[in-house]
Amino acid sequence: MRRVWPVLLPLIAWQALTSLGLVAPFILPAPLAVVRTLWSEVALIAPHALVSLSEVLAGLVLGLALGVSLALAMALSDFLSKLCGPLLSASQALPVFVLAPILTLWLGYGAGPKVAMVVLLVVFPVASGLYDGLCATPEPVRDLARITKAHPLRALWWLRLPHALPQLGAGLRIAVTYAPTGAVIGEWVGASKGLGYLMLMANARMRTELMFAALLAIVAMTLVLNLATSRILRRFGM
């Protein structure tokens, strides 16, 4: 029960503010109104949610593959490490959402720029987490590789990578949290479907409760992805 109250108290206060008329409904609809809208407009929200979910999953798969490949390449090559390491760090100094208009210009108004936005948000935590884990390989493991004269690629795959899996898991958990944000931002810039597009459409029509219902769907999607990722990672000991 102690875990529930931190969530319930803000909702109760929110409901009280709207019920007492202290906040206009078109500015902040009541939580019960948002839930009712989510239920009554499920036929409208569900297709847009599926579009956003497909963009998020595609971006996660591509971002995970790219991030893991980049981390492994950096661990094998000092040149790539010195070249890509600063670039990865510098990429975080640039807010990713400012790239959305450029990606839309390059890739059009389809799913491409949305998936690309997700990939950009996923690559850094995955690559940096795995690379840090590979660099923190215990010294006895490194000594074992040297004693057995193992090929660097074999040592990386069989000795260093298993010890870096927890850091990869931590980076992936962060990436999954950020991924829906990339898809929604891409949909805000230019789209004809998706939860981000639905929020813009609802805002233009002053349907605040529908906009909050779409936001609630995004939160639910993020929580489900986090839960599924955590369970999968725990099953693999990460």
Q: What is the pLDDT along the chain (238 residues), one digit of tens a residue?
A: 566 666 677 777 777 777 777 777 788 888 888 889 999 999 999 999 999 999 999 999 999 999 999 999 998 888 888 888 777 777 777 777 788 888 888 888 888 899 999 999 999 899 989 998 888 877 777 767 777 777 778 877 877 888 889 999 999 999 999 999 999 999 998 888 999 999 999 988 889 999 999 999 999 999 999 999 999 988 887 7
Give the integer Cα–Cα distance in Å for 123 and 128.
8
* Amino acid 65: pLDDT: 95
Residue 123: per-residue pLDDT: 92
Burial class (CB in 10 A: 0-12, 13-18, 19+), 195: buried
pLDDT for 5: 62
Domain residue spans in the chain? 30-236
Q: Position 207: which residue type? A: R
For the CA atoms of 85, 114, 231, 171, the dihedral, rounded to the nearest 10 degrees, stands at 10
Tokens for 31, please give them.
């939580």
Q: Match 């991924």 to its residue by tokens.
A: 179
**pLDDT at 80 (0 to 100):** 83
Q: 10 Å Cβ neighbour count for 200?
A: 17
Q: Which CATH class is domain 30-236?
A: mainly alpha
State the Cα–Cα distance between residues 50 and 203, nearest whole angstrom: 20
Give the residue from 101, 15, 114 showing the smallest Cα distance to 56. 114
Do the Cβ atoms of 122 and 60 come closer than 8 Å? yes
0.85 exceeded by pTM? yes
Say how many C-beta atoms besides its own lie within 10 A of residue 120's C-beta: 21
